[in-house]
Structure 1
């Protein structure tokens, strides 16, 4: 925060401090008075930067308030008073639905609607509703937070707030709010709001768009990527934006870094927020100078009537036993070890295990040059509601499981709150979107007229010709690809079909999964959502790559038949 405030001119500083897991990890401790509720790093940043914020007139909107935005706002207000700075502090509330939905999880599936339930092509995984199978006893809820949009923040800014502390607003909402307020848009300027939503999406993950987690990083000077600078979104009155960064900071911004980050954690070709639905099929990405990329072509429409609600509960216990073996006969060693473990786990314990998986990672190198090259791993994962059952397999390790459900936006009472003195808080309701628009069936299609190549082919790795990004959406995984060379787009478009994706997933494919495919022709990208592959999702996925971040390079490392004539 301090670097962004001091290295150049900015009008707003926004910050995304939350993943779903932050809230769940700290919720119990916060309710028991053993955690402050907010993210300590958010407080650290404000302490370091508050003088510069006041001096330069920078507005700040962050979601570092986490479980208790009021608590952080009070600390900031005390700091501002101590320093005698002319700053007005506000905090946003309304996202915490635990008082409404808690203290226990539902006892039937009908009480909450799963986020993917509107998609008739996919069925939530078996363990999605694991909280229902608890012998008739209710399962305590840990936390329930709805993802808020930008309107409450805008209300605060319009009423004079310099710093707005939020809890679980959507990652891009602070950026939408900044542009909405700055350009004085109305709430039905959907194209403009949608453009700012994508601007927020591009800069929400710190340095991802400036070279961090970049698929093509290995073709650049690694020294330039050691400490990449954070990005800046310059949002125009029409909603188009230029992504840039402070001059002199490390990292870089080009069409490839922007396209990679654009493809991150999408929902197909419609990106949803509580205030607007962004239609992104015709997105355009253009170079606009050194470390400057222009994004346009985004269109908007009213938001859906629901918003995501992340709900956590005590799922029980999880443990992993990580073992390694080296060299000759490794496969047989793992065969024997699995037989031994299954033999010595008592039958009554086995019945109490929800999950017992033996996951083999790696293949020993042929003619290895070092022991490391010859070493592979076996990951034994066990989960159970019974601590003793998990201890019987490995050392017990508590964890909290995650599920996303949707709640009606109209049921949320969102307020903006101002600290107007030591014992005075002024509260204003922020209302709801003027109208909603139910979601249509998601687009899902293979290429209509794929280009055929009749020349000879050569085996190459897909990553030699394609870049992209992958990530998680609860229990679902998204992955997008685009060619390094624009001339290869017709080949990639025709090659990357739904059937091809099933083939590339390989042994991890299960017939319960479902694939959606769309294209972004203006940026030469094809995008997939694979429903169900991450199982319970995030904190309780049984996959080693539970967040889906490494899936892209797993697929890029596979060999494909590529036409020699265009290689």
Structure 2
């Protein structure tokens, strides 16, 4: 189905002379985008917040779906574990300055054990000789009471078969922003949460600062999308973006982390920390804006349903972009719940073959393992990868590898993987891979095996009123509450870090606007070139369960109509034939010059079930970007990539 929002041309909008009010804004800096992120990211972010002055918050987003389940298992082994293991390294470099400058810290680094994380924060402050911080714990996400488990069982029964007794490792709902806002209003210096929606880490401080009503949907939606841009850390600043020859990112080894200036109307300006590498422009912002979104008009969160179908993304200065025009709709009546459960064992084994005949020997080793391993020992297929020939782009069933003709690759690593209901069957796989040293083809070496318990995931809806957020503070804030009526000492309202001239005054953008207008058909039609889509567009892959979303964003507005015409749902489905998508849905966003494709059933069950090395499907955007695109020659100047100015690199059709 084709979801067309409107037919407005994807020209760049006109930028007002000021990017927003110079008073009353809120700065939100992000210092982590996942558990295990760089621990030196916070320092330049905090330094920038201090330099700019005014109300500011530092957030840490460290909690992915599976991270929480693993944290719950850690807590079962040790009652004082189960929170972010890098908490000390993240907070120690900046805690003193955040306390001194009244920059509250908000993080979901509490994971499965927010109270223990709160105790650790207090201990860090004591070890550093700092005043005792007011630490708030936002809880209520864990579904542990008998009444909650009964409701959960009923909800899961509507979605599929019941789970075995005692199989649940963790069950959590995604809480919203209200608990965070309440903690800040009560004077918390540090707010520790478990499972909250990622954007809520930003929406909570905005609620507290601006005093918005909980049903001020447009403003909440604007702050939600600001949080969405921040939540993956460096991704919006050029991290996870570079593609040499097409997308250059300066000083990537020092890529910066983002800061958003949120205005009272919910619009935001996003920029990166001072003195850091990377780049932040409309292209990096659009990729992150569409990351893990499905329907752009209905991004569901616990706080609001955000609609970016009419949003605008505008450059306002070096490494600074303004997002405006986000609309909001009433929040969902229910909360999303994730339930992780024990789901057997994953076994993996690898061995390398090199030199003449390496690929043939690796294929033979795979056949030996398939013959030796009993199908009754495992759940699902035995996955066989030939790294260097076919691996990440293959499927668990092996159809793509079987269809690929045998070649003469001279450096191949065989990988096999399978899920098993018990450890004994998993052990047999690792032993058989090791036995290839003496019982397999010639020249195999470098065996590595891995064995670990596997967690399955089921999701359902849970009644909101049955999972209220609770807030517990270590003490009452001595300086009063933070936010609209709170004390700020000598801190002043933050200036917008950058301002730029009206966009129409910039020659490059004025020219772009005129080119994006409908072209008068030429008779005869101009010559065309067939290129790889990668030269005309860029994009990123996101995943939720067994569903992948892939954005395709035109490098220039004039190229967008070609994408709409040629990148149909049917064409994308053909491109992913080996993945057997059950459905492909296309969403058009002409204001952003973008298309969002949602592909169901292409991840072999998703990150918690798939055997793929890339179980998130991160590489799938390049499957789309490899598609052919026919481009009229007058539009060739807007293409990117090596050889785009050399005719011999592209086929010409007349």
Q: 2:217 aligned with 1:190, yes or no?
A: yes
Residue 320 of structure 1 corresponds to 348
For the 8 Å contact 1:483–1:524, the answer to whether it is kept is yes
For the 8 Å contact 1:77–1:419, the answer to whether it is kept is no
Distance 1:497 1:96, change over 3 A: same
The 5 Å alignment of 1:172-321 reads: 172-214=199-241, 216=243, 218-219=245-246, 223-269=250-296, 270-321=298-349
For the 8 Å contact 2:139–2:193, the answer to whether it is kept is yes
Deviations 1:366-391 (A, max 9, x none): xxxxx997434443221110222222
Q: 2:591 aligned with 1:522, yes or no?
A: yes
Distance 1:373 1:196, change over 3 A: farther
Structure 1 runs, 4 residues or longer, greater than 6 Å off? 101-106, 327-331, 449-453
Q: Could you tell me how far 1:456 is from its partner in structure 2?
A: 4.6
Residue 557 of structure 2 corresponds to 486
Residue 95 of structure 1 corresponds to 141
Residue 609 of structure 2 corresponds to 540
Residue 155 of structure 1 corresponds to 182
Residue 6 of structure 2 corresponds to none
Residue 433 of structure 1 corresponds to none
d(CA) in 1 for partners of 2:248, 2:573: 35
For the 8 Å contact 1:105–1:141, the answer to whether it is kept is no
d(CA) in 2 for partners of 1:103, 1:274: 20
Which has the greater radius of gyration? 2
Q: Could you tell me how far 1:418 is from its partner in structure 2?
A: 0.9
Task: Tell which deviates more after alignment, 173-182 or 221-230.
Answer: 221-230
Residue 580 of structure 2 corresponds to 509
Please state whether the residue corresponding to 1:392 is helix, strand or coil: helix
Q: Could you tell me how far 1:518 is from its partner in structure 2?
A: 0.7
Deviations 1:76-123 (A, max 9, x none): 3345567452642211000111445898998x7853555xxxxxxxxx
For the 8 Å contact 1:190–1:301, the answer to whether it is kept is yes
Residue 500 of structure 2 corresponds to none
Please state whether the residue corresponding to 2:587 is helix, strand or coil: strand
Structure 2 counterpart of 1:65, from 104, 110, 121: 110
d(CA) in 2 for partners of 1:49, 1:563: 54
Q: 2:373 aligned with 1:342, yes or no?
A: no
For the 8 Å contact 1:244–1:292, the answer to whether it is kept is yes
Q: Could you tell me how far 1:408 is from its partner in structure 2?
A: 2.0
The 5 Å alignment of 1:3-22 reads: 3-9=44-50, 11-22=56-67
Q: Where does the alignment leave 5 or more consecutive residues of structure 2 unmatched?
A: 1-41, 391-406, 431-448, 477-517, 637-654
Residue 397 of structure 1 corresponds to 452
Structure 1 counterpart of 2:415, from 371, 379, 387: 379
d(CA) in 2 for partners of 1:521, 1:50: 44
Q: Could you tell me how far 1:55 is from its partner in structure 2?
A: 1.2
Residue 507 of structure 2 corresponds to none
Q: 2:467 aligned with 1:412, yes or no?
A: yes
d(CA) in 2 for partners of 1:465, 1:183: 41
Deviations 1:324-352 (A, max 9, x none): 55577777656644443332224xx5364
Q: Could you tell me how far 1:409 is from its partner in structure 2?
A: 1.6
d(CA) in 1 for partners of 2:520, 2:76: 59
Distance 1:420 1:247, change over 3 A: closer
d(CA) in 1 for partners of 2:170, 2:176: 19
Distance 1:220 1:516, change over 3 A: closer
Structure 2 counterpart of 1:76, from 96, 107, 121: 121
TM-score (norm 1): 0.82
Task: Tell which deviates more after alignment, 3-12 or 73-82.
Answer: 73-82
For the 8 Å contact 1:104–1:139, the answer to whether it is kept is no
For the 8 Å contact 2:359–2:412, the answer to whether it is kept is no
The 5 Å alignment of 1:163-174 reads: 163-174=190-201
d(CA) in 2 for partners of 1:327, 1:452: 56
Distance 1:452 1:112, change over 3 A: farther
Deviations 1:239-297 (A, max 9, x none): 00000122322112111110111111112212111111101111210001111100011
Residue 505 of structure 2 corresponds to none
Deviations 1:514-560 (A, max 9, x none): 12211111110000111121133213222332112111123213444
Task: Tell which deviates more after alignment, 453-462 or 16-25.
Answer: 453-462
Please state whether the residue corresponding to 2:539 is helix, strand or coil: strand
TM-score (norm 2): 0.72
Residue 3 of structure 2 corresponds to none
Q: Could you tell me how far 1:490 is from its partner in structure 2?
A: 0.3
Q: 2:399 aligned with 1:353, yes or no?
A: no
For the 8 Å contact 2:359–2:410, the answer to whether it is kept is no
For the 8 Å contact 2:359–2:409, the answer to whether it is kept is no
For the 8 Å contact 1:112–1:405, the answer to whether it is kept is no
Distance 1:312 1:12, change over 3 A: same
Q: Could you tell me how far 1:38 is from its partner in structure 2?
A: 1.4
Q: 2:600 aligned with 1:531, yes or no?
A: yes
d(CA) in 1 for partners of 2:45, 2:244: 24
Q: Where does the alignment leave 5 or more consecutive residues of structure 1 unmatched?
A: 115-127, 365-370, 422-448
Distance 1:167 1:74, change over 3 A: same
Please state whether the residue corresponding to 1:48 is helix, strand or coil: coil
d(CA) in 2 for partners of 1:361, 1:203: 34
Distance 1:88 1:372, change over 3 A: farther
Q: 2:86 aligned with 1:41, yes or no?
A: yes
Residue 141 of structure 1 corresponds to 168
d(CA) in 1 for partners of 2:521, 2:243: 27
For the 8 Å contact 1:90–1:417, the answer to whether it is kept is yes
Please state whether the residue corresponding to 1:494 is helix, strand or coil: helix
For the 8 Å contact 2:44–2:274, the answer to whether it is kept is no
